[in-house]
Amino acid sequence: MNRLNCVFMDRAFELAKKGLYTTMPNPRVGCVIVKDGKIVGEGYHRWTGQDHAEVIAIKSAGEKARNSSMYITLEPCSFRGKTGPCTDEILSSGIKEVIVASTDPNPRAAGKGLEKLKKAGVCVSMRGDFKRSFELNPGFFKRMRSGLPWVRVKIAKSLDGYIALKSGESKWITATEAREDGHRWRARSCCILTGSRTIRKDNPLLTVRLGDKHFRNPVKVIVDPNLICNADSKVFAEGNTILVTLNAKDSIKFDKIKAMKDKNIDVIQLPCVGSSLARFSLKSLLIELTEQEFNEVQVEAGPGLVTSLFEEKLIDEFLIYQSPKILGKGLSFIDKASDRELLKRKSEWSFTDVSMIGDDMRMVLRNNKYDNPSFK
């Protein structure tokens, strides 16, 4: 692809990023229409159920779309969902060429949209820019390929590696800029996952708070196998909340679940697993969240839940904010049993980004399996 073509695809990705906080469960997609070397139409997907990026761009271009070229960050859909097939709109518009950055990971669409366009005589080419498409939509790609959402664990820790004092106090390890950045990551997530101990200890709202800017609040998911959360906790006061617990087996628990439901709190009950009488499979919980079309799950929890997710190999990414503060003693974010062989093993994690956010350092680490574009 020549330099000018790269500029047009770059613009399509810029547009796609505008849907970072709003498109879920759909992917973030941008589109540019070019004729005689100039952009004549552009668009990006804003909300599920509304026009896709391609349709918006076609409407923007009007008659200029005929005999033009279209640049899209993701393969156009070819089936009817909440909206009609984008391929039909492309064919009706008279566009002669379509360039895409990546195929659609959705099994209903993968390759079918491009094939339909080819059969109709449209010139189709693949940019082969999977990495950028994936970075915009890690949760959508993973959910479509593996049936599980993308799990991102957010941590704020001191220079010596502690997330709180021994007493549990953690306000505030990081400065304002890092906390605001964490809220932007929270806003792009479909849900926030935390544990009942965090709710009882900190009584958080788990909402997005970024000054006067309006962001949607993700669903709040509380892991509470023994139903120790109080229905009057702040987390239940606003927004959608799901409480996940073990199957009720006695009248006391039935009554607690009813009280939660009476306050419009959704309750998911899961069976007990293993020898423990107070544990359910976290993978089963993630499957439940997948069925609700959650793409990105941001975990903001204590070491108990984080360690369980780690041990079940369910974490895809760590979002770590490191403060220059030294606590001396405190709680670590993960409680892994000592293993003499650990230092000899190759790490499963790699840094994908290291940035300064105010006085704090932000580190993003990802599981190495995502180095392979054909991951499952």
Beta-strand relationship, 360-367 and 349-357:
antiparallel
Tell me the two tokens of residue 295: 């793409």
Contact 178, 320 (CB under 8 A): no
Tell me the two tokens of residue 161: 């590696």
Contact 55, 92 (CB under 8 A): no
DSSP codes joined into one string, 279-337: -B-HHHHHHHHHHTT--EEEE---HHHHHHHHHTT---EEEEEE-S---SS-B-S--PP
Contact 52, 45 (CB under 8 A): yes
Catalytic residue status for 169: no
**Half-sphere exposure (Cβ direction) of 340: Cα atoms closer than 13 Å:** 0
* Rounded-to-5 percentages of helix, strand, coil across the chain: 30, 25, 45
Contact 29, 53 (CB under 8 A): yes
Identify the active-site residue in 54, 89, 296, 300: 54
Bridge partners for 298 per DSSP: 152, 192
Bridge partners for 267 per DSSP: 243
CA pair distance 78, 118, nearest whole angstrom = 12
Cβ-count burial of 75 within 10 angstroms (0-12 exposed, 13-18 middle, 19+ buried)? buried
Contact 218, 186 (CB under 8 A): yes
Q: Whose CA is closest to 359, among 158, 174, 182, 154?
A: 174
Residues catalogued as catalytic: 54
